[in-house]
Chain A
């Protein structure tokens, strides 16, 4: 048998966030159908595959476990090594520069796929040497979770599939994860380039892959005050329910005099500030008591919930606002009469 080589595998994790010392590369040899596990002792480094790679090639999957109590496992990357394989790379770009590609349900993102190494000018050549399979698929996270379920009930659906030639292929997308309410889309979309099966490698092999997470649009519900309500005696306690705050977000409540209007800068209520750098969206409930000190004068006021994220050019977005009236001045109307005649 003609051997290709041993494989020197260089791996580099975003380790401090991920790994706890041992992660796994699983090698699959196409010709024999055998698997071999290599455990890694560091977050980055180089290992030599102990299994020689026979023709036509092998596939390497890099897996990691979450950090306790996270009981999940993650496929970080896949690489196929073979004698006659095209090359592919995929890059997804969103407005959020976070290393784990992610965006918000209401934002578009760009995908660039570069394919090379295919034979274009031979009409008699098999499909595997002329085209690469481009596949986009989606998967919703189950309600109330922010991850793929760790059981057999996963539901992956194909969104697009093309066979593509050599070249740079750029595309732009909104997510196609489609719950009843599109602002609540929660899941991930995966872009893959596969080599087509041929006589030497009988299965479609992943040449490149990228995943983007889709997080919902945050929402704010203000209770305790209704639109245009008038307060005479005392102010109520406000409750603000914040759901799905973007993982990288700064959210706060401000008060200003006058009806609601974009562009207004008011008084920030210090106890309402929430500054997150998280991996998944965050929920919060904020109670506001004794806020009368911020409302010295009678008049029209607006309480407004703002969030700052990587989107909207870093400018605040209004999640919710309610306008109300303070009218504490007591007017006595009456007459004074005397019983004396």
Chain B
């Protein structure tokens, strides 16, 4: 085993701050641009006039996107399996209750009792509020539980002991796989022999 520490510095530092702030929050400036009477200081006259659509079209035509350094790139075809959107819901299971839902990794639901199948979904849920797993779980312990699993179970190289399967099946709760408290994919199936017909996963 190679022990090596890698620092991903700046994860989340700047990029996407763009979309990150796309919320309709308005803050009136404390900008120092106004005097005590609310009048702009340092008044100057206009130096330009708002551009029209025709003028802008002409500017964009005159100056198309271009590389300003020597460019040795070539036009490229996109790989077939390229996912541009990369939405978090693509790789998530969705648990819904009331006006809220949460997401856990794809494959993290070890067991879904038939009673609660309607509370499991996939894809975005624009009609309800997304909350993260810890908050959702704390408010829905009546029908959701989680079970710590090993790396071997995560990767499909483990098994679930019979007594564990028994507990899961008799508890009648949705079971989310976790590893060190964090939801995780579980590639090891729950023993199917004891599952009743129509039970998941």
Distance between Cα atoms of A316 and B12 in the complex (Å): 34
Query: Does B154 reach chain A (CB closer than 8 Å)?
Result: yes
B56-80 interface code vs A (CB 8 A; 1 in, 0 out): 1101100111111101111111110
Quick check: is B163 within 8 A (CB to CB) of the other chain?
Answer: no
Q: Does the CB pair A7–B8 fall under 8 Å?
A: yes
User: Is A279 in contact with B21, judged by CB distance below 8 angstroms?
Assistant: yes
On chain A, the residues within 8 Å of B107 by CB distance are 34-35
Looking at B34, B51, B63, the one whose CB has the most chain A CB atoms below 10 A away is: B51
Is the beta-carbon distance between A28 and B91 smaller than 8 angstroms? Answer: yes
- Are A8 and B123 in contact, with the CB atoms below 8 A? no
With a cutoff of 8 Å between Cβ atoms, the chain A residues found around residue B46 in the complex are 262-264, 304, 306, 315-318
> Does B27 have its Cβ within 8 Å of any Cβ on chain A?
yes
The reply to whether B77 and A161 form a contact with Cβ atoms under 8 Å apart is yes
Residues of B22-68 at the interface with A, using a CB-CB cut-off of 8 Å, are 22-29, 31, 33-34, 37-40, 43-53, 56-57, 59-60, 63-68
Complex Cα spacing A77 to B8, Å: 11
Is there a chain B Cβ closer than 8 Å to A121's Cβ? no
- Report the bound CA distance from A319 to B50 in whole Å: 5
Find out whether the CB atom of A275 lies under 8 angstroms from the CB atom of B31: yes
Which of B111-119, B176-184, B191-199 sits within the interface? B176-184
**CB pair B8 A316 closer than 8 Å:** no
Q: Enumerate chain A residues within 8 angstroms of B9, measured Cβ to Cβ.
A: 10
Shortest Cβ distance from B165 into chain A, in angstroms?
21
Please state if A265 and B6 are interface contacts (CB–CB under 8 Å). no
* A278 sits at the interface (CB 8 A): yes
18 residue pairs of the A-B complex, CB under 8 angstroms, read A5-B3, A24-B132, A36-B105, A36-B179, A36-B182, A71-B129, A75-B88, A170-B67, A197-B81, A206-B86, A213-B19, A217-B51, A250-B33, A262-B48, A279-B25, A308-B40, A319-B50, A320-B50
Q: Determine the interface band of chain B, counting residues with CB < 8 A from chain A.
A: 35 or more
A137 contacts across to B, CB distance below 8 A: 84
Kindly provide the distance from the CB of A107 to the nearest chain B CB, expressed in whole angstroms. 10
Query: Are A183 and B51 in contact, CB atoms less than 8 angstroms apart?
Result: yes
Residue numbers of A with Cβ under 8 A of B are 2-14, 17-18, 22-26, 28, 32-39, 50-52, 60-68, 70-79, 81, 90, 99-102, 105-106, 108, 131, 133-135, 137, 146-148, 150-152, 154, 156, 158, 160-165, 167-174, 176, 181-183, 188, 194, 196-197, 202-204, 206, 209-213, 217-220, 250, 252, 262-265, 268, 270, 273, 275-280, 282, 304, 306, 308, 312-313, 315-320
* Chain B contacts for A165, CB-based, 8 A: 72-73
Closest A residue to B76 by beta carbon equals A163
Give min CB distance, A252 to chain B, whole Å. Answer: 6
Please judge, given known A-B contacts A26-B105, A268-B39, A276-B26, whether A133 and B52 are in contact too, CB under 8 Å. Answer: no
Report the separation of the CA atoms of residues A105 and B67 in the bound assembly, to the nearest whole angstrom.
Answer: 20
CA distance A275 to B37 in the complex (A): 13
Mostly, the A contact residues are strand
Closest Cβ neighbor of A161 among chain B residues: B76
Q: CA separation between A294 and B50, bound complex, in Å?
A: 26
Task: Please give 13 more A-B residue pairs, beta carbons under 8 A apart, in addition to A265-B44, A315-B48.
Answer: A5-B2, A5-B4, A8-B5, A10-B11, A33-B187, A72-B23, A73-B88, A99-B14, A133-B78, A148-B22, A211-B19, A308-B33, A317-B50
Q: Determine how close the nearest CB of chain B comes to the CB of A47; give it in whole angstroms.
A: 10
Q: CB < 8 Å: which of B23, B29, B47, B156 contacts A275?
A: B29
Identify the 7 closest CB pairs spanning chains A and B, nearest first: A35-B105, A162-B73, A100-B17, A76-B12, A263-B45, A34-B185, A164-B73
A150 to B156, CA, bound (A): 33
* B27:A148 contact, CB within 8 angstroms: no
> Contact between A209 and B15 (Cβ–Cβ < 8 Å)?
yes
Contact of A188 with B19 at beta-carbon distance under 8 Å, contacts A181-B53, A204-B81, A318-B48 already known:
yes
Beta-carbon contact of A277 and B40 below 8 Å: no
B15 touches A76 (CB 8 A): yes
Residues of B near A151 (CB, < 8 A) are: 124, 126
Which residues in B have their C-beta under 8 angstroms from that of A163?
73-74, 76
Q: Is the CB of B76 within 8 A of A133?
A: yes
Q: Given A66-B23, A154-B85, are A51 and B50 also a contact pair (CB < 8 Å)?
A: no
Q: Which residues of B contact A67 (CB under 8 A)?
A: 23, 25
How many angstroms from the CA of A108 to the CA of B62 in the assembled complex?
A: 12
Report the minimal beta-carbon distance from B181 to chain A, rounded to whole angstroms: 8
Residues on B with C-beta less than 8 A from A276 are: 26-29
Q: Are A171 and B68 neighbours in the complex by a CB distance under 8 Å?
A: yes
